[in-house]
Structure 1
Amino acid sequence: MRDSARNLSKHAPPARRQWWKERLRLIAKAVSASVAAWLLARHAAGHEMPYFAPLAALLGVYPTVIWSLRESLAYAGGFAIAIVVSLGVSALIGPGVVGIALVIALALLAAESRWLAGQGAQIPFMTLFALLLGGEHILGYMGPRLIDVAIGLATGLAVNVLIFPPLNLRHAEYRLQELQEELAGALSELADQAEDQKAQPASWRRRETLVLRALDHARRSCAQGDDGLRLNPRARLHGLRSGQSWQGSRRLIVLEQIVVHVRSIASTLCSLDSGATKIDDSLRKDYADLLRSLASRIRQPPGATSDDSPSSPPQSTQQRLETPFTTAGAGAPGLWDPGAELMRLSGLILTALSPSDQRPPNRSSSAA
């Protein structure tokens, strides 16, 4: 666990600092967009209290450009639906008890649209707002508000796109490094358990929790990083494209595979230490050394030069240890032959770390 704390202290604080840096930048842009939208709606459009303008501007300032565009379009669509529903109910029934019940029912049905996503929740409020305050003159009441919404959405999108549009790549890189460190620490801990022949289920559960938490953070950060490249002028300026110049998602796939194999190694070692099956003590020590070599490989940063030749320490150790299990008559992998199963799993990790899955040096660090 001390190894884990050391690794997290190395990578998690930069990730948190980068997250706060991005959030504070986003907050500053949201404030600027809201104030600008208010001033534009009040002085350019001549509306005395354009309260919808700063509210709509906030929807144009999300962590990614494409996210901002989706939310803005969803809000505009929901606002238009609210006006149409309130107009129909007002013309047919009016703003009475029956009208209120009908407008709420229709608004809630419209809010279920997946296209509107999270913005569907504002439709019931907007329809009631239009019906009760607009009365028989809904268009005259809601028309200026619709202009305020358009000004706010346009202002928020313009601020988010033109003023340092977010890429979110550096934070994803930090989270991937954190996951690499956690995986390396997990392999080192498993190596100690294999060598000491002492099962530590509680210790492994704590370690597994840290690995899965780091994996969840990496997944969310990489998804936001990929999203941040779409329709982003900074991405085009730096020539960044997901899966090509930025390899975060591909790195994540490799690390996800390694997580599965590491958990399987832990399960197999626990079955050994429980006394259900056994392997030679010499194999335990050699396998512990192999796991430590794999941990060192996993810790290597993207673009680092590694020796993947058959004579490299992990490759040569893997080949030497798995030879007895690949001869004719060897048992099938699994609990019947735990040694063969362990060799199969470490071989899968080596395959995931092979040159075909390595990543080129990343240009995103200077741009993000």
Structure 2
Amino acid sequence: MRAGQEVRREALAVGRAAKHVVTRPGRERDVAVQSLKAALAAWVAWVVADRWLHAPLSFVAPWVAVVLVRSTVYQSLTHSVQQVAAITVGTVLATAGGMALGSPTLALAAVLPVVLLLGNWPKLGDQGTYGATAALFTIAFGEPSLDTGTARVLESLLGAAVGVAVNMLIRPPVYLRSARDAVDSLLAETTRTLTSLADGLTRSWGQQDAREWDDRVRGLFPLISHLRSSVQWGQESAWLNPDRRRLAELRRLRGPYTHLAAVLEQLADYLADVTRTLVEASDESVAEPQPEPAVTSGYARFLRHVAAAVSAWGRLLPPPRPDRGDAAGELERAVEGIRDAREGTASPAGRRGHRRPAVVGPVRLPARRRRQTRRRARRPAPAQRRRGVDGPGRHGPGARGSGARGVGCAAVGCAAVRRAPVAVSRRECPGSSAPRRRPGPRAREGRMRVRVSRSGGARPGARRWRRRRRGRSARHGRGRRR
């Protein structure tokens, strides 16, 4: 009974796949097209090897061609090189062993272990087993000879060329649809998760609800990984692909999809922190109390606006969608709502004129963790303070005056640029906590030169600068007159 149900289920699945091949584009149609291309490559290789060239081992060419119609043009080319190399090694060793030993049994016992070990070479990838297959065919079928081995290698080259040419010239595969499907699945699941969490926080909830939310949030990470792998798969399908029209579309999609994966991964990390905190707060064995309704309602409003922003952003992504509508306006309104809800969450009750709730800790815990992490990241290490190495939040040029202002001072600290002409003081970096340093001699000289140039070569300023320079040289023993 169970076996009959399994057979019926498989038959229905095959029927649905066959219907999808005809009715709509998708994975089923891609698989069918690649299968037909492999059959065509095998037929062309057979005709060329057997009917035109009259090769003695005409079955080798279609055998190689049928397995080299891979899912991407890049894979077809790289696997063809690996497979031909493995077949050549196996054929050469089998021919040499068969001709030297004279007995097929001894030749197989001596050659196969060596060929199988060479097949594990990483440069051959997963094509190393074809070397052992070629050695087995060379020894077991017919008498090994130099002419037979040469014909086998040449026919494998013919089959590889036909397989790569068919895959490259006849509808070369470019995988855009898998990335689009991955984006749609990720956006839909993220929106449903945010909405479910927001709806749950507005009513009474317990530890079971918090665990379900946590499991649902953790289910977003495999979808994000699937989106990244789909984008990478599409990028690989663009290598050595002559279809320029679809490649241009792929380049337009790659940037937005990669950015979407990065942003939604940060959102999933934040939601995982929140749900883990809710699980801890709902545990009766933990003394930490649950958040009050005033806090959870503010977070629910915040999450609803985030869900609306994610949904609107997804409709703005390329390619243009039929349900796009006023997605840009919806996104702007959702962002404004996020800002208002975030301000209300930061002070849920103090802005309404009554007492601030006492219990904010469990929901505010992720933000507190992030602030502590930022403070630790900004604090320079002790070894950096001792050596004067540049660290976050301060310039570390030491006494030689080799520091300069960097980019992103408030966020990641001041990055020093080596061999700067002047020393940097604390005034040049508002976020610096380093003690104020006295400018060195070279910096003072630079300031005096600036004053002289600004005065237009005035004699009093120039004489004052020369007197000071002469006195300093005399103190150091360089300007004394004999």
1:170 maps to amino acid:
R
Give the counterpart of 1:298 among 289, 305, 310.
310
1:179 maps to amino acid:
L
Given the two structures, how large is their TM-score scaled by the length of structure 1?
0.76
Cα distance per residue 1:251-280 (max 9 Å; x no partner): 333333333333232212222222433222
CA deviation after TM superposition for structure 1 residue 187, in Å: 1.7
Match of 1:362 in 2: none
Match of 2:168 in 1: 161
Larger radius of gyration: 2
Match of 1:234 in 2: 243
CA deviation after TM superposition for structure 1 residue 246, in Å: 4.9
Match of 1:183 in 2: 190
| Contact kept? 2:217, 2:271, Cα under 8 Å | no
Match of 2:70 in 1: 62
1:225 maps to amino acid:
G
Given the two structures, how large is their TM-score scaled by the length of structure 2?
0.60
Match of 1:282 in 2: 294
Cα distance per residue 1:79-120 (max 9 Å; x no partner): 111122213323543444443222111111111111211111
SS in 2 for 1:152: helix
Greater helix proportion? 1
Cα distance per residue 1:167-190 (max 9 Å; x no partner): 101221111211121122122222
Cα distance per residue 1:279-328 (max 9 Å; x no partner): 2211101101211221222223215636469971112212332358xxxx
| Contact kept? 1:290, 1:314, Cα under 8 Å | yes
Distance in 2, matches of 1:145 and 1:233, equals: 31
Alignment of 1:6-45 (within 5 A): 18-45=26-53
SS in 2 for 1:269: helix
Cα distance per residue 1:12-53 (max 9 Å; x no partner): x99x95111211221121121111111111222223662222
| Contact kept? 2:70, 2:76, Cα under 8 Å | yes
Distance in 1, matches of 2:59 and 2:367, equals: 66
Give the counterpart of 1:90 among 75, 93, 98.
98
1:230 maps to amino acid:
W
| Contact kept? 2:306, 2:338, Cα under 8 Å | yes
Structure 1 residues 254, 28: CA separation in 2 closer, same or farther (over 3 Å shift)?
A: farther
Distance in 1, matches of 2:133 and 2:263, equals: 46
Match of 1:315 in 2: 339
CA RMSD of aligned residues (A): 3.4
Cα distance per residue 1:144-183 (max 9 Å; x no partner): 2323222221111111111121110122111121112112
Unaligned runs of 5+ in 2: 1-19, 319-326, 349-359, 372-482
Cα distance per residue 1:120-163 (max 9 Å; x no partner): 122222212212335341x3223223232222211111111111
Alignment of 1:321-360 (within 5 A): 321-322=345-346, 337-342=361-366
- Ranked by relative contact order (alpha carbons within 8 Å, sequence separation 6 or more), the top structure is 1
| Contact kept? 1:95, 1:135, Cα under 8 Å | no
Structure 1 residues 142, 322: CA separation in 2 closer, same or farther (over 3 Å shift)?
A: farther
Structure 1 residues 142, 47: CA separation in 2 closer, same or farther (over 3 Å shift)?
A: same
SS in 1 for 2:128: helix
Alignment of 1:198-217 (within 5 A): 198-199=206-207, 200=209, 203-204=212-213, 207-208=216-217, 210-217=219-226
Question: Percent sequence identity over matched residues?
Answer: 23
